[in-house]
Amino acid sequence: MRIINLIVVHCTATQGNRTLSPEALDLMHRRRGFNGTGYHYYIRKDGTVHLTRPVERIGAHAKGFNASSIGICYEGGLDCRGRPADTRTPEQRATLRLLIHQLLEVFPSCRVCGHRDLSPDRNGNGEIEPEEWMKACPCFDAEQEFKEFAAEDTEETQSKLNYLQNKKGMMAMKRSVWDMILKVVIAVASAVAGVLGANAMNL
């Protein structure tokens, strides 16, 4: 399994009132020279999620970041006039949140961001600003939306690790106590056996 440290959210850049099937998306990417859909997951407007590329396979969705990332794309991203807009349905929002939660359980150290957040920092101020975006995708602030969510998941993961470490420590302590009790029992038994043996010799 490859190392995963980044989850990138995309949109299909299609109007919210139009549909794009997984098959049509796959064909679009093949026409661009890809060997299938470049994203790993595709979320339809009804909230249905499709696995469009195995996670263990390197994606084709974020140039320069594909090797260590997972790509998630939702259907939409443009309003009826073709302008960038967050067209996610309630079902898409719920599915996206659940999917990212599940991925963070498997890859807890991942950064979650939008495709636009990977644009180059042209003015060198340490921030990717709107005027620096190479594209508007995914047409909402994914990094901010999932920043707290990722932090909560990291805290939950750390809490689980602490619990397991404490549990391991308690088990080691219990073993130590039982070892001590066993030694005492053996010592007492040996002493009793010695006394009984001495009494038997005196009889």
Q: How confident is the model at residue 93 (pLDDT cuts 50, 70, 90)?
A: very high
Domains of the chain (ranges; CATH) run 6-158 (3.40.80.10)
Encoded tokens for 124: 């060198």
State the Cα–Cα distance between residues 146 and 152, nearest whole angstrom. Answer: 10
Q: How confident is the model at residue 86 (pLDDT cuts 50, 70, 90)?
A: very high
Is the entire prediction scored with pTM above 0.75? Answer: no
pLDDT score at 61? 95
Percent of the chain residues past pLDDT 90, beyond the cut: 59
Average pLDDT (122-132) is: 56
69-83 pLDDT, tens digit each: 999 999 999 999 999
Residues belonging to the chain: 203
Q: Does the structure show a pLDDT above 70 at 84?
A: yes
Q: Does the structure show a pLDDT above 60 at 91?
A: yes
> 144, 135, 17: which is closest to 76 by C-alpha?
17
Q: Does the structure show a pLDDT above 60 at 89?
A: yes
Q: Which residues pair with 84 in a beta bridge?
A: 78
